[in-house]
Chain A
Amino acid sequence: MIQNFFAGLYELILGRPMPANFTNDYREVVFPNTGLQLFIISLALVVIYYYVLNRMMSTGFYKTQHWVLFLVLNAIIAFIIPIVQVNSNGIESHSYTYMFAFVNMVYSLILFFLFSILLKRGSVQAWTTPMKWPHKR
């Protein structure tokens, strides 16, 4: 289920894995691993930003530029994970690998933004970062 979900998520944009002889490695290992890590790390960074840095502690990291810093940090991690996954599973490198890393990075931006919108309300200092919408207080 999870395998199919993530394989579908990536192949939607990337198409069939290449080189084709590693299709199974991508579908059964690399895609689900990368996808799960993408979700969990994005969520963790959002939680850290809103709940640790801007609720439990008062660090002064509430400005949009700090939020962007975390967004970029998440994107960098999201670019590295696929490459590490591909290499550690003994898959031949291919331009597909880097397209995959790029797509994963784009997904990380979207996810980070989504999680922010969903969770920022619970933050004390940063509930208006990156913007006030959709909450009113």
Chain B
Amino acid sequence: MPITKSVSSLYLLLSLLLVVSGCYKKESSGEETGEATATVEQKDEPRTTTTAPAESSKVDVNLYLEVSNGMKGFMPPAEAGRKPTEFQSRLNKMISEVQDGIYVDSKSYYLAKQDNQGRPVLDSVSYSTLKSTVVSGIKANVLGTPLPAMLQAALEKSVAQNTVSIIVSDFIHGPDPRDQGQFISLDSDIRSSLKLAEHKGLVVAVLADASSFYGSYYPAVKKPAVSKKLDGEEIPYYIWVIGKQQEVQVVTNKVLRNLPAQQAYFGFGYTTLPYSAVLKSKQFRPAGVVYCTSRTAETCTSVNIQPQKDEPVSFTIGVDLNTLPASMQELAYLKRNLKLAATGCRATIGDISAATEDTKAIPELAGYTHFVQVNVPELTANKGTLALQLQQVVPTWIENWSTENDNDPAADPKKTYQFNKIIDGVQALYRDQRKHVFSLTMDFNKAD
């Protein structure tokens, strides 16, 4: 009898145990669901901020093609047995994309010339006129290009119509012979001509490429030769896109596509890029004492760290640079220009890597295009910030494409007279506005 009693009591004991342990599992699973809802809320937050620059939106475009005599060599009349110049192929693709593509809503085309007084004239033309100009050459006789005046006229027209400007020109400054002083003040003249861009908060994208050139070439420096007959030498031409940042990006990414390697962006800035410390991934294992301040946050923008003498802290920040211009997303560019501004600690940038198939396969990492390792060997305060900043820099190709004497393009190809001064003028517009393309701040506290 006592044996059966003890057996039954054992059962009782076991069932009690089950009840007790069951209770506690419930408690912990309840906690987990609480955590889950918290992460859902957090998830929504960055999504809504990032969907704002929707790239799919349409833009209105004003396209200006300069048609001075100096441009004729880019657009030689079609001849059997001669391939179109690179200029013609690129422009053909571009204007057909503007005309027929889905990203452009309303479009206007202008041929930019100057009148006898040296004032710029923007001739509104139809698509077919523009197309025939590109494929079969310029008929009119237009001397010189007053560059600042042309830019100003184009920009004023676009701003009035609220459109994006695409300006195609060789950017060889050809002021009126009566006003040669403009050569001295080219940078400030460019700045003045584009002041509207500064006032309206517009940005400028400059794309450069070279094309073979057939015909008379008119250099800015008229000595020793006023003009030169060229037969296929490479002469640079430029496509400037001016407008609101988001619209310029639609044009550069969706309308122009295959951008040339030479790109420069002025005035671009991003305030809401998604970023997060990546602390729990096997790909980017942190070192030393570092953990997210919040346990449940989906995106971690505040960390607790505590570097030890023999164990410095090192962790990775994932950033989504998807919305930046393509040339700024290049790893080499980021490695050169990404800087870390730290307060309250000594810190350096370690390795920078782009997303790989491996990281794209992991949901927590899939949203980031680049991963920046940050090393913190020492804290100097109990709290502070680590800011990843992309500097506004003038690309190096601009110096290489500039010259003080463009008289002999055969000997010194792919150079434009004082192009660096022209760019200086553009840069001056944004000198005081944004120091950084973006600045992503990671707060830190000393870990306890």
Contacts and interface: CB of A to CB of B under 8 A. Distances in A.
Interface of A: 16, 20-25, 28-29, 33, 36-37, 40-41, 44-45, 48, 52-53, 57-61, 77, 85, 88
Contacts of A22: 280, 291
Nearest to A25: B295
Contacts, number: 68
Contact of B292 (A24, A29, A41, A77): A24
A47 to B, nearest CB: 9
Given A21-B279, A52-B13, A57-B9, A41 B21 contact: yes
Interface residues of B, number: 28
A40 B286 contact: no
B31 A21 contact: no
B376 interface: no
A33 B30 CA distance: 12
Given A22-B280, A52-B13, A88 B28 contact: yes
Interface in B278-292: 279-280, 286, 288-292
A107 to B, nearest CB: 16
Most buried by A among B5, B292, B295, B447: B295
Interface of B: 2, 5-6, 9, 12-13, 16-17, 20-21, 24, 27-28, 31, 279-280, 286, 288-295, 304, 315, 447
Contacts of A48: 13, 16
Contacts of B294: 24
Contact of A36 (B24, B280, B288): B24
A44 B16 contact: yes
A33 B16 CA distance: 19
B295 A29 contact: yes
A23 B24 contact: no
A16 B31 CA distance: 23
Given A33-B28, A37-B24, A52-B13, A20 B5 contact: no
A44 B20 contact: yes
